[in-house]
Structure 1
Amino acid sequence: MVWYTVLVLAVGLERVAELVVARRHTRWSLARGGVESGRGHYPVMVVLHTGLLAGCLAEVWAAGRPFTPVLGWAMVAVVAAAQALRWWCVRTLGTRWNTRVLVVPGLPLVSGGPYRWLRHPNYVAVVAEGLALPLVHGAWLTAVVFTVVNAVLLSVRVRCEEAALRSAPGAAPGAAPCVEATR
């Protein structure tokens, strides 16, 4: 169980690295007239992702969930693939990547990297990791709860992002503001 704790803490440190990068990118976006949307759901997202990490450890330690090698090692591979996809998204978007919904007017949509095939590839990474990280060590309850709550949150988040992109200067008229979608 100690190695699993180290894995979860490593994912937590990765999240801290994301926040450092996002803070730097936020300053870049705001300096260029970026507009933030979806502030209402952002704290929920932070709590949910923190809860995933805490739930993984609490369930494994408190409920004595076993490590099943076939499932566990397969899920470690999924966690690693999710991290690779996430950082591919960060690299592809560059200074435009963020944990917040920020749109800089006048910038075109990114269509390279994983965005060639998927509109929201980072969320594929989030979903995969949310299932796989708990299942590495049999924390199935955490995997189920996170997945269900995350599905609801992502439905809000994706609508928010799409509305923010549509309402950016030069976008299609008549887009609903993201703030309304989060109330």
Structure 2
Amino acid sequence: MFFLILLLIVIAQRLIELRIAKRNEQWMLTSGAKEYGQSHYQLMVLMHIGFFLSLIVEYLIRKPALNSYWQALLFIFIIVQIGRIWVIVTLGKYWNTKIIVLSGTYVVKKGPFKYVKHPNYIIVTIELFVIPMIFNLYITAILFLILNQIILRVRIPIEEKALRENTNYNEKFD
């Protein structure tokens, strides 16, 4: 039952985030922003859908017990969710799941961005590992940790190039 509850919470959260991202995307594009990295975005979406499917399939096939450290892992998950909200609130109308950059704007260098360049990618990486580990779903944890790193190796350079070309990114982060 705990698996189902956590799964539904995370799926609901993702759906709410997609709604926020769509609203922000529409605002940015009507304000003259440009989208970058469209070619890998579909793969990223498929990876995230695959993550949920893999969680469900591995759980149903293996029927594992909770990890002996599930409470610590759940605590990490909750902290990461606070971090996720912090990122979304900090970026406000600029937060998105896509790489959309409004030329001439200033990059955000407050909130979690004071400490790291890509806090949301760190958060997603932790989630993709911690959520399955709560339930001892090792295959999903390792597979999607690797797949996410592959996607990020493509995505981060595209995002940084778009920011360098259109904002004051070089002044703030180099």
Q: TM-score, normalised by structure 1?
A: 0.89
* Cα distance between partner residues in 1 of 2:151 and 2:51: 14
- CA deviation after TM superposition for structure 1 residue 119, in Å: 0.3
Cα 1:171–1:117 shift into 2, 3 Å: closer
Partner of 2:33: 34
Match of 1:115 among 103, 113, 116: 113
Which structure has more helix as a fraction of its residues?
2
Partner of 1:46: 45
Partner of 2:159: 161
Q: Summarize deviations over 1:26-74 as a string: whole Å, max 9, x none.
A: 0110111100000011111111111112211211121121113x32111
Residues 60, 66 of structure 1: 8 Å contact kept? no
Residues 132, 138 of structure 2: 8 Å contact kept? yes
* Cα distance between partner residues in 2 of 1:82 and 1:131: 12
Q: Which amino acid aligns with 1:47?
A: L
Confirm or deny that 1:82 pairs with 2:55.
Answer: no
* Cα distance between partner residues in 1 of 2:2 and 2:74: 12
Residues 25, 100 of structure 2: 8 Å contact kept? yes
- CA deviation after TM superposition for structure 1 residue 170, in Å: 7.0
Q: TM-score, normalised by structure 2?
A: 0.93
Percentage of identical aligned residues: 32
- CA deviation after TM superposition for structure 1 residue 113, in Å: 0.2
* Cα distance between partner residues in 1 of 2:148 and 2:58: 18
What is the RMSD of the two structures over their aligned residues, measured on CA atoms? 1.4
Residues 106, 169 of structure 2: 8 Å contact kept? no
Cα 1:171–1:125 shift into 2, 3 Å: closer
Partner of 2:101: 103
Residues 75, 136 of structure 1: 8 Å contact kept? yes
* Cα distance between partner residues in 2 of 1:57 and 1:6: 12
| Number of residue pairs aligned between Structure 1 and Structure 2 | 170
* Cα distance between partner residues in 2 of 1:51 and 1:29: 28
Q: Summarize deviations over 1:84-123 as a string: whole Å, max 9, x none.
A: 1111100000000000000001110100000000000001
Residues 70, 135 of structure 2: 8 Å contact kept? yes
* Cα distance between partner residues in 2 of 1:170 and 1:55: 40
